[in-house]
Structure 1
């Protein structure tokens, strides 16, 4: 801690992201500034939900509290586990009474750079997204009014919300804002690959060959992965049909369920490949248990539908065994060690 221009500055680690906190004029809240890799670019943070230490701490507390579920048995953290980069290690997560969900729980880091949420993109903001699992009958199955009643009855939560959002009852709005404040601070961008870009470490020969395959097009002898998994987040955040055969038992039409447009059938949001080695199983339904299965999917003929993405090679990549090993080695360099170390 030190002083600069009469203002006390302190560094603190909250929710896996390094923050700089500067006290505001009010004694109740401490504003914070998100620190992130420069390659990410500055995120557009909500102007009506300024990041503060009190709000982030409250949001993290709520995230891990089973009070948000119908019977006090399920929390947000039950399906978004820190050691799995805030994802889950099962194909379909189980909620209240062991009810099976319909989709794989995606990792929830770097949300500050996204503009749609869920596999089908039905939520446009984090504050909108966080309320759905609480009320979903397959997940936390709670009545939101009952959740708010419980929170308002707890003295500790009344005090926490007062410090974070001022006097008054805890509402649907302040609940969603607190969770949003915390989730926006979960930042991941410190992998071996990132360090190699900074010349702090070197990729080994197998990893480097995988990097070449990843970032080279089919025409140039590569796998062309970068065409969908591009930029610093290893995703273009678009919707695509990647050639999976639909699972009949789930009857999941993807983005079509939101838009009703034929061209959106079987399209799902392109996930980030950051931390991919620790976020198995894979795909929207968790059908692939490991990266070998994922690569084998793209290596063989895709399931043909009218909405198949044009970037998917219909007959498969036809990679050699050594090339597959190289790709996996490279993908493993995208793991951020903080999600492993801090979960121990």
Structure 2
């Protein structure tokens, strides 16, 4: 109250202080790509997943292409040797009948080598005809063997030809069988050639003995003496060619009988020339025994020996040619 007694209103005093306004919250942090699953959201993440998928598919496709290329390449690599082997095998099989015919034929069948009535010219002609067949067959056997031996090394397994392994193995087995068959055929041909030379000499010896017998029957002493050198030489030639096993020992009795007969004729001629009666009787008796010994030669033993020699070769040829033909 004022001193004058008048009421006096004083202005209200201002507040001591105004509280500060609350601070505005900080701005939200920006969204950035993180390592969590949400980081792949959006177009960029989708493209990355798509690229990775195509890379995998492309890798698989390349693997398949490599496998296909390996299989095709193996087939191509195996195709040439297999084709060459098939060609060589077909040619070999085409020659089979001619080879079998030669091996199965017995050129000495019906020929009695110990007979004094042997038709030597006819027998020699038959033998020459047979050997002509052999000479026609032998080149094909040799050429077929050479062709098969050339293709055989190519039929080997390798990493590249593994896809065609079964085909290569089959043809290798066929080629091996054909080579075995041809080896048997060649062995048979070699034996036949040696036997033919031996038998041809034996025919010559038989012819000389037949001529010798005629001069003796005619009591032609000079003629008989003149025949002796040729007869002895032909017997010796046959004996030299009679080499086992290609010429069976079953032929030995014939050779032994011929050699003994030639010696006894020589002794008889000498006894007659010396007018030695006792010696004449001795050699006449010896020659009679020689004749009986030759006539008793066992032809069946010769036939059996020939069969034992040739049959295994024939069986081997037939058995292996069946395999070579694909049987």
Greater relative contact order (Cα 8 A, min sep 6): structure 1 or 2?
2
Q: Which has the larger radius of gyration?
A: 2
* Same fold, judged at TM 0.5 (above): no
Task: Judging by fraction of residues, say which structure has more helix.
Answer: 2
TM-score by length of 1: 0.23
With normalisation by structure 2, the TM-score equals 0.24
